[in-house]
Every structure is written in structure tokens, then in C-alpha cells.
Structure 1
Amino acid sequence: MINTLLSLMLLTAPAHADVVEKTVAIVNSELVLESDFKALEKRIDKPGMVDESLLFDKPVSSLKGNRKAQLDYLINEKLLESEVKRLNLAVTTDRVESELRDMAKRNNLSQPDLIKAIKSQGVTEEEYRAFLKEKIEKQSLMDSEIISKLRISDEDALNEYLKQNPNSRPSIDEFSVAHIFFSPKKGGAEAAVKRAELALGKLRQGESFETLAQQFSEDPNFTAGGSLGTFKSGEFLPEIEEAISNLKVGETTPIVKSRIGYHIVKVTSKKMAMDPKFEKVKDRIKAQLLEQSFKRQLKLWLQTKRDDSFVRVNE
């Protein structure tokens, strides 16, 4: 009887039992499974199938055989997937098809030839469509969360250019200034300097330049705010041109001695003549700075998301 029951059980049991896959980590509602590691190992050897922005300047090869690095990478991927869902940024198959058509057009290929080229890299069409869908979604996420908030100015690019080319300095082409003038004809040079020091102290304590110019300036041709007008480079007192050479608009000099007396000078506008070589490389430098800034902000953003998310590792 027992043998009969065992026989019936064997006959009715499934040919194979389903294996419950090990969950290595949980990221919000996303699971990192053991199979994800195997899939990632395969992706490493397939060009373009690993998101290098999540490696932060490490080579793709750094993932190979490195379970700790793979886990960190997969957790970051799951954080992105979780945010894509939260922000409802998922794309349709039609959007993926449209991107494939555009890719083929950009490369002067038919879509079947594009798929053939993808397969030649060891990637199946199904794998690539899934990868492309995730890529479009991640790009949309990065655009809204990080890239749209980055600002790289021409001044940022110029500063980077000057770091790389310290012997190249921009020259002042045109400038406008105001001054507070202290005349040595009124009690001598020493007395003029003391009056200038008194005014400079008040300026550094926060009093406005314009008010102090009204109170202290001894310029016989004084105009409102101490304005002297606009000049081309080389047209003004050389001592003052030298003193303002490194100032930004709105900044003031310490006490400057000229052949006519003592001045505290404020730059009210400044037009720089750029090195022609800088103009040629400006856009490239801005692109480099943008990429560097993106990497920094992505790293900070991911860390913030990890801190704010439910992340549990079972290993």
C-alpha cells in the first residue's frame, strides 16, 4: 500500500520543482536577484551595455569578477528604476521603436541592418530593446533631476582656460569707474591719506560707495556717485587701470596713489578682450566642465537617494 502511494505521488509530482531565486538586495520595491549578477557579467563584455556614468570614472572592466562592485552598481541601477517609476517616466514600445529608427537614420542604415550590427556585438534584439528602453528612461530622469539644474557660464570656462594656460590673460577692452578722490592740495599728502583711510574703513564696514563719495570726494568735477565715465584701455590713469585689472564689476580698490592724488575706485562695468584662442576652445571647455559637474552631482544625488530609500542587503 505504501509503495502504491509513493508511486502515485511520483507520477503526480511535477517533472521539476521551481527554484526560488535568491534575493540579494531590496531597493524600495525593486529586487536585486542572483540572476542580475550573471546578467551583468555577460553585459560587461558587450560594448555599451553597461552605464559608465554609474562607475564614476572607473573602467567597465573593474566590475568583472568583483561582486562588491557589481552589487553597488546594481543597487544604483535599481535606485534609478525606482525613481523612473515614482516619477512616471516609463516609455512605451513605440518610443523605443522611434529611437531605433532615428539611430538607423543617423548611421545611414536601414533598421534591419542596424539590428544586424547590434547582433554582431553579441547582443540579442530583445536585450537591446530592453537596454534602450532603460537608457531613454534614465536620460529623461537625469535631464529632469540633474542636467536641467547645471549651469556653466563663459566665466567658468575662462577660469578653467586660465588654469590650463596661466600665461594667457584677458585684457580690459573698455571699463567704467567711479572714484572717491582725496587731494594732497588740501592739507598735504599725509592728511589726504588719513582721510582716504577713514573713508575706506567706512566702506569696509558696509556703507555704500555712492554715499561715501558724496561725503568725502574732493574731486572738483564731482558727479553723482563719483562716476568718472567710460574709457578704453590705455585712455585713463595707468595707476588706476593697473589697480582695477583683476577686479570684478562692483568691487573696489584699496587706496590708489596717482600723480594727481589718492583714490578709492569702484568698477561699475567692464568689457574684456578675450584671447582668440579661448574663443576657439570655449565650447569644448564648457562641455568638459558640464560633464565633470554632472558626475559630481549624480554621485551626490545617488547618495541622497540611498539615504532616503529603503535599501537592504541580504549578504
Structure 2
Amino acid sequence: MKFMKSKKTLGVLLAAATVASVAFAVTDNKPASTNASSTPKLSDLLPDQVIVKGKGFELKQSQLDEAVSGVKANASARGQEIPPAQLEMIQKKLLDRLIQIQLFKAKATDADKAEGKKEGDNRFEMIKKRAPSEDMLAKQLKTMGLTVESLHSRLIEEATAEAVLKSKVKISDDQVKKFYNDNPKDFEEPEQVRASHILISTSDQKTGSEMSEDQKKAKKKQAEDLLKRAKAGEDFGKLAKEFSEDPGSKDKGGEYIFPRGKMVPEFEAAAFSLQTNQVSDIVTTPFGYHIIKLSEKIPPHKVELAKVQDDIKGYLEKQEMEKVLPDFYKELKKESNVQILDEKLKALEDAPDEVPNFPAPTPKQDDKAKGSK
């Protein structure tokens, strides 16, 4: 829905650094350069200074450096460079995030911890699913001083912090209904298709590099053989689960639901031109060879309230969480006697508060398909 994509969520404030550090979530499955990791940094040779202390916790310089490195790595993977002025504001927000997690964790009930564990696990599985392989994910994390296990733990910590803040807000059914009625255009869905595909990739699944012409010929022959089986009436979903090389859809029998403008042109044109239950010929895209089967054409319509009420409630909760966050954070900082020991960071903390444009998606961002833009 439009309202879910167009407005900021608390995930940007509390979880951006962790998700940003995993470039697989926002790039074309290419790991960031590992050259930087081979050169020792000055911070590796000096004592790890305590930069923040409060009741029952301390934060060290390395923790902040690691978070900043994650944001930088994500920006670099996108071909972007963060201006120094913006980097200072990002550093301020990341420091706040690290402090918030410690303070909120101390307030977490058993219910908050259970919800945080569940949501953290979901985010972790989403990141693993987007990575081309567990090995490449581990290598990517290693360049930022992380492991798969530490990433998982951090996601759970952040989700637990969100659960604590979420417990401070309540959204009624009447508020949900009012938002739905006041924003009718946000719930209008354009024409869509429900289609399944089998992808025979022409890129190496481990390195991402393009295959040789001979390898492509062999792949096309494989696609042609599968096309014959699909057109002969074999179960398309089973063929996709067994042979498709699109990790984002093969476990679902290759199925996607999408409107125009979401897939690469060749894939979109073929899918929208098919009749219900028709199987396409081989469709070639930069990702490889596709066989597409159309299951349903979905006309433009307004989504029923019952189908979106949970999404609306979650969105309104996040809005309210952002409102209560400053005062709740200030209260807990005072209660825990939080002290910023680094003078430069203290000056940043006292500066006017602005939300930086983190170069990262929220953990809730929809998976992009092989064949999507």
C-alpha cells in the first residue's frame, strides 16, 4: 500500500544501521569491496575507549564505529558518498540508537522479549533469504566486523527495543477505520497479475558474474527442455520448486503478484500478454531465461479494510511511537544518569535534532524478485 511505502517508520531510526550494514538487502547481490578490511585502522591499534556510560551499561567507541561503517558500506554499495555534514548527523542518530537499545532493554518485560525475539528472527530470515548464499552473507558481514550470529542477536535487540516502545501506545479500531476512510487513494490497487515463473539463470550463483556463451547455450537447452514439460501439462509449481534459480520465489512455486512497472520490461510484457493458465515461450532478460505461467489477472480495485487493518494499525503505532520516543528517551536517560564522555560526541548530542536520510530500507521492505527492477 502507498501509505506503507511513502512515510518514515521507526525502523529507520532504531534498525537502519544493522539492516544498512547488509548490502544484500538493497543491492544486486554483490558484496561490498573487501579491500578496506586488509588495512589495519588506527582504532584497531588504540585502546577501545568508553564513550557513554549509564546505570548498568557502557558503550565503547568500537560499537559506534561499527554502526557507522555499516551505513558507509551500504552507501558505497549503492555508489553513493555521504557528505561530512550528514555523516555527523547520522553518527548522532546512531549513538542515540545504541543508547536507546540499552535503556529500552532494561525496561523489557517477558512479553517484550518474546515479541522482540519473534520479530528479530523474521528480519534475520528476510536478510538470509535476500543473500545469494549463506557463505556470501558471512563474507559480507566479515568486512564490517560482524558475524551471522552477531547480526541475528542485534536484530533481536533492536526488535525488543521497539517492542518496549510499542507497549507505550494504543491504537483503537476506530482510529484504524478513520485512517482507511480518510485516505481512500492509498488503498487503490492498479491492475495486477498473479504469475509464476521458472528462472534458469545466466549468472554464476556464487560470484554473480555472467556466464560464458557456451554455458548460456547449455542453460538455454535446459530451459527449452523445461518449457516442453510445462506445456505438456506437468505441475508448474513443482517444476519451479525443483529447477528455478530464483531464490525469492522458488519455494512458492515461482509465484509473484505484481502491477506494471515492477518487473523488467521483457518479463512484464510477457506476463501481461498471457491468457489465464497460458504458459509463455522462453523470455530472455538480463537475469537469464524465464518460463512464465499466468494464473490470474486482477483488475483495479480498492483493498477491503479487513485485509489491511493490521497494516494500518502497525503504521499508526509507529507514528505514535515516533511521537512518544523523544520524551520517553529523555526520561530514561535521566533515570539512568546517562553520560556522554567523548566531548565531540557530547557536542553532537546537544546539537538540534534532525532525522538523517539513512541510505537503507526498513526491515519491512518487500523482497524484490529476480526479474524485478
TM > 0.5: no
Larger radius of gyration: 1
Normalising by structure 1, we get a TM-score of 0.40
Point out which structure has higher relative CO (alpha carbons under 8 A, 6+ apart). 2
